[in-house]
Amino acid sequence: MPKKDQAKQLPDAALELIAHRFRALSEPVRLKLLSALMQGEKNVTQLVEATGTGQANVSKHLSVLKQAGMIATRRDGLATICAISDPAIFQLCEIMCAKLKAEHDERSKHLAGF
C-alpha cells in the first residue's frame, strides 16, 4: 500500500525542528560567532571582541546556538569556553556560500576561502 502521492512526507513537528535549526543560522551576529569559532574555541570575551556587539547580546546569541546544538560550552575558571559541536555547520555554510558565489560573482572575492 503506497502512500498516496507521498503526501505529508514530514510531520509538522519535524518541520518545526528543522526550521528552528535554520533559524539559528539566520542572524549575522550568530554567523559571525560561528565564523570566529571555526578557527578554534574561544571564550565569551574573545567573541564579544570578534563580533563588536554587546556582551549581553553575545550571551543571548550563544544560548541560541547552544540550544540548537551547534556549539558546546565548558567552564574554565572564570571563562566560558565555546566551541563548535556539530561539523555539519561547515557543510551548511559552504553550500550557502557557494550559492552566493555563483549568484554574485562580482562580490565573490570577499567570499573566497569560506
Kindly list the residues in this chain that would bind a copy of itself in the complex (CB under 8 A). 5-7, 9-23, 25-28, 30-32, 35, 38-39, 50, 69, 86, 88, 91-93, 95-100, 103-104, 107, 110-111, 113-114
* Closest separation in Å from C-beta 56 to a copy of itself: 20
Question: Which of 92, 85, 94 shows the shortest CA–CA distance to 67?
Answer: 85
Residue 91 is a binding residue for DNA (CB under 7 A)? no
Walk across the sheet containing 42-43 and list its strands: 42-43, 79-84, 71-76
Residue 80 is a binding residue for DNA (CB under 7 A)? yes
Q: Which of 62, 65, 70, 71 binds DNA (CB under 7 A)?
A: 62
Query: What are the phi and psi torsion angles at 53 (to 5°)?
Result: -105, 175
Q: Which of 45, 69, 91, 110 binds DNA (CB under 7 A)?
A: 45
From residue 66, alpha-carbon distances to 16, 24, 47, 86 in Å are: 17, 9, 14, 10
* Closest separation in Å from C-beta 99 to a copy of itself: 5
Query: Which residues, in sequence order, are bridge partners of residue 72?
Result: 83
